[in-house]
Amino acid sequence: MAMGRAIVRNPKAFLMDEPLSNLDAKLRVQMRAEIARLQDKLGTTTVYVTHDQTEAMTLGDRVVVMLDGVAQQVGTPEELYNRPVNLFVAGFIGSPAMNFFPATLTDVGVQLPFGEVTLTPDVLDLLARYEPKKNVIVGVRPEHIEDAELLDVYAKIRALTFEVTVELVETLGADKYLHFKTEGAGAHASQLAKLAAESGAGENEFVARVSADSKARQGQKVQLALDTTKLLIFDPDTGRNLTLPEGQTAPAAPSPPGE
């Protein structure tokens, strides 16, 4: 009703502050689609405030991700998903949340706990200003890790395969979530633990979003295949995405009150 009263006034802009927060899941999906259709029909500029990243990604033409009152990144949903400027944006966008692994730069790529990845010349050029053996954090989205048994030979060659023990299987119909662990976090363990906690995962716990055809079972050892073309590399100290050109940097952290 409140939205209807606002619409009949023919305003130049709408401000919606979490309008769907009190609805159940099914009705929220329906209303989200209705709001999208309404905005498209009216063509009125709409500022939509939400803590739900799905609402932001599905409704927004441009999205602002904020942390402690500071805009971290402004961009299209595709830009936020594919080219997050820092660890916070990378972990906030996407469901399940991005996996973060400890890693070390090498002469040809990055060394992960379960193997080395050779990077493309373009990415190596961006990393050239850093010394080999620098500790970094590598981000991999769950949907970029597949059950290796389901890949053809060519895809397996291009991927980094590694063995894990499945801790938990969540079946969603169209796909499955395989929860697994790796060895200790090593360098920057506290930061990695914080990132895991923010995503709702435990320490050294990770998720692969695999095809529903996967036969993986809880307690079973399986081979997973990581798409090495989808890696993101972050500076543990600044949080900056090192795979982006120098100009696309994260904002400075806010100063403590009183400074």
Dig out the tokens for 167 from the structure: 């801790």
What DSSP line would sit under 28-70, residue for residue?
Answer: HHHHHHHHHHHHHHH--EEEEE-S-HHHHHHH-SSEEEEETTE
pLDDT greater than 70 at residue 89: yes
| Three-state secondary structure call for residue 126 | helix
**Does residue 167 surpass a pLDDT of 80?**
yes
Is a pLDDT exceeding 90 seen at residue 247?
Answer: no
Looking at the fold, whether 155 and 27 belong to one and the same domain comes out as no
Return the higher-pLDDT residue of 21 and 212. Answer: 212
Q: Are residues 56 and 93 in the same domain?
A: no
Confidence tier at 136 by pLDDT (50, 70, 90): very high
Asked if 160 contacts 123 with a C-beta cutoff of 8 angstroms, the reply is no
Domain that holds residue 17: 1-61
Q: Assess whether 135 and 227 both reside in one domain.
A: yes
- Residues 40, 97, single domain; the answer is no
Structure confidence at residue 255 (pLDDT): 42
Which pLDDT belongs to residue 85? 96
Those residues with Cβ within 8 angstroms of residue 178's Cβ, 6 or more apart along the chain or in another chain? 147, 164, 166, 168, 169, 207, 208, 210, 214, 216, 222, 224
- 26 and 149 share a domain? no
3-state secondary structure (DSSP) of residue 206: strand
User: Which two structure tokens, joined as six digits, stand for 190?
Assistant: 């506290």
What pLDDT shows up at residue 244? 92
CA dist., res. 51 & res. 203, Å (int): 24
Residue 87: phi, psi to the nearest 5?
-60, -40
Same domain, 11 and 106: no
How many independent structural domains does the chain possess? Answer: 2
* 109: Cβ contacts below 8 Å, ≥ 6 apart: 116, 117, 118, 119, 124
**Region 155-163 average pLDDT:** 90
Assigned domain for 69 exists: no
- Which residue is associated with the tokens 């500790």? 135
Residue 87 included in any domain: yes
My answer on whether 187 and 92 are in the same domain is yes
| Three-class SS state of 180 | strand
**Residue recorded with tokens 């991700």:** 65
Res 258: pLDDT: 44
The Cα–Cα gap between 177 and 41 comes to 37
96: domain CATH number is 2.40.50.140
Given this model, what pLDDT does residue 151 score? 94
User: Strand pairing partners for 48?
Assistant: 16
Q: Are residues 205 and 127 in the same domain?
A: yes
Q: Is the pTM higher than 0.75? A: yes
Predicted confidence band at 139 (pLDDT cuts at 50, 70, 90)?
very high
The answer to whether the beta carbons of residues 89 and 73 sit under 8 Å apart is: yes
Q: Establish if 245 belongs to a structural domain.
A: no
CB 150 within 8 A of CB 211: yes
What local confidence, expressed as pLDDT, does residue 186 receive? Answer: 57
Are residues 108 and 51 both part of a single domain? no
Regarding whether 187 and 138 lie in a shared domain, the answer is yes
